[in-house]
Structure 1
Amino acid sequence: MKRITIQGVAGCYHETAARGFFGDEPIEVLPCATFEELFARLEADPELLGAAAIENTIAGSLLPNHELLRRSRLRIVGEYKLRISHMLAALPGQSLDDIREVRSHPIALMQCTDFLQTRPAMTVVERDDTAGSAREIALERTAGTAAICSADAAALYGLDILARSIETNPHNFTRFLILADAAQAAEFADPAHTDKASLLFTLPHTQGSLSKVLTLLSFYGINLTKIQSLPIVGREWEYRFYVDVTFDDLARYRQAVAAARPLTSEFRILGEYAAYPNPTL
């Protein structure tokens, strides 16, 4: 049985994504309190896999996770895109009018601003995890308090859902990366279905250096789906670029990579894998 480490407690969105990626295959999920702990566990145990959020359609990129990935030397072996639908959940027998406090992760609270503004009597309290908020209420038997969490978390901890899909924007999706040690990554390699890659590179501090790389990718028919820049600490006005690309021809993609390397100061392939289709509402 595969072992997957996630950030968050049982019932969190990371667990939903991990189980969704592996489908009917049984997995053992190992929770971590933080992303730093998650990456440290992956480094310490080469047989362990990981699922880590990397971007959200509303909150944007999780920039610290880009840096953790860069430092880890792990490989991306897959991705999973999950529709994030938030529930307001409380102990059985509670009603909306009973709730005076709402607990959840800051991003989840931010994503439910419109709903919360219609309930000014509810005090917002930040917690480290959505599912952790649900577990806390269940364990403490805290009346008058609700969690913003997933339907899975509400069911797992025996809470009633008082309001469904309370996120302000329904186009709320999170992209998760499936991570593995470089040696184990070979088990996931499937050239017949590989049509996406995540790349990391730095460029010389010269005029037009980024434009040259992007033009080259376009020449080889490579589609740029994401570009994220982060400053290089200690090197003013120099940046690392995290790039996601998709392609129809694996051979042409490899030609593009070979041609791009000489134009960069540093070039790494973070992972080559099958693109996950965009989910629908």
Structure 2
Amino acid sequence: MKKIAIQGVPGSYHDIAAHKFFKDEKIELICCNTFEEVFDNLKKDSSIIGMIAIENTIAGSLLHNYELLRDSGATIIGEHKLRISHSIMCLPGEDWSTLTEVNSHPVALAQCRDFLQHHPQLKVVETEDTAGSARDIKEKGLKGHAAICSKYAAELYGMKILQEGIETNKHNFTRFLVICDPWMADELKDRSKINKANIVFSLPHNEGSLSQVLSIFSFYHINLTKIQSLPIIGREWEYLFYVDVMFNDYLRYKQSIDAVMPLTKALKILGEYAEGESTL
């Protein structure tokens, strides 16, 4: 049975994404309070697989996770894109008339801003986890409290759903990366299906340096699906570029990497894998 380290508790969106990705397998969750703890688990036990959110179509990128991934030495072996749909829930014996407070992660609260504006009587309180809010309300019997999280969390903790689909934008997806020790990578992925890679590099302060790199990728018919820049701490106005690429020909992809290598500094391949599915 595979052990999967996630940030959050059972019922969290990380939990859902992990079960979607490993849909035909039995998995054991290792629930962590922070993303740092996820990476610590991978360092302590090379057989553990990690699942981390990396970007959301509304909230944007989780920038700190890029840094954790680059520094960890872990490699990406897959991804999953999960449709995020929020529900508001309370204890079984309560309803709208008894609620005074709503608890959830700040990102989830922001994604439900329009809904919350229509319920000004509810005090909005930020917590560390969406599903954790539902769990705490149920375990502590917090009357008057509501939680915003997944429908699955409500079912898991025996909460009463008051309304589903309360997110403002229905095109709300989070992309999760599946990571592991590099020595485990070949056992966990099908190399014949690889068509995507994540790389990171810095560039010299030369005119057109980024343009040159992009031109080479274009020449080799490599599709850049994302570019994320982050400042290099301690080096003013220098940046790391995190780039996601897709390709149909693995050999041409490798040739493109060889071609851009002399133009970049500290280029590192963070992972090569098959493009992930999107699920509701």
Shorter-chain TM-score: what band?
Answer: over 0.9
* Equivalent residue number for residue 200 of structure 1: 200
* Equivalent residue number for residue 2 of structure 2: 2
CA contact (8 A) 2:83 2:278 kept: no
* Equivalent residue number for residue 247 of structure 1: 247
State the shift of 1:40 in Å.
1.1
Matches within 5 A, 1:111-260: 111-260=111-260
Equivalent-residue separation in structure 2 for 1:44 and 1:218 (angstroms): 40
Moved more, 96-105 or 165-174: 96-105
CA contact (8 A) 2:74 2:179 kept: yes
Q: 1:227 is matched by which residue type in structure 2?
A: I
State the shift of 1:190 in Å.
2.3
SS in 2 for 1:139: helix
Matches within 5 A, 1:65-84: 65-84=65-84
Equivalent-residue separation in structure 1 for 2:265 and 2:178 (angstroms): 27
Q: Please give the per-residue CA displacement for 1:145-196, whole angstroms capped at 9, x wherever unaligned.
A: 1000101111111001001010000010000000000100121342321000
Where do 4+ consecutive residues of structure 1 move more than 2 Å? 188-191
Instruction: State the superposition RMSD in angstroms.
Output: 1.0
State the shift of 1:97 in Å.
2.6
SS in 2 for 1:20: helix
Q: Please give the per-residue CA displacement for 1:88-117, whole angstroms capped at 9, x wherever unaligned.
A: 011112212321100000000000000000
Q: TM-score, normalised by structure 1?
A: 0.98
Moved more, 87-96 or 194-203: 87-96
> Aligned pair count?
280
Moved more, 51-60 or 198-207: 198-207
SS in 2 for 1:256: helix
* Equivalent residue number for residue 263 of structure 1: 263
Equivalent-residue separation in structure 1 for 2:100 and 2:267 (angstroms): 52
Instruction: Decide whether aligned partners of structure 1 residues 189 and 9 sit closer, same or farther in structure 2, where only a CA change above 3 A counts.
Output: closer
Q: 2:42 is matched by which residue type in structure 1?
A: L
Equivalent-residue separation in structure 1 for 2:43 and 2:58 (angstroms): 30
Q: Which segments of 5 or more consecutive residues in structure 1 lack a partner in the other structure?
A: none
1:52 aligns with 2:19: no
SS in 1 for 2:228: strand
Q: Which segments of 5 or more consecutive residues in structure 2 lack a partner in the other structure?
A: none
State the shift of 1:278 in Å.
4.3
SS in 2 for 1:192: helix
Equivalent-residue separation in structure 2 for 1:278 and 1:90 (angstroms): 29
CA contact (8 A) 2:80 2:278 kept: no
State the shift of 1:277 in Å.
3.7
Q: TM-score, normalised by structure 2?
A: 0.98
CA contact (8 A) 1:191 1:250 kept: no
Q: Please give the per-residue CA displacement for 1:186-239, whole angstroms capped at 9, x wherever unaligned.
A: 213423210000001111111111110011001000000000000001111110
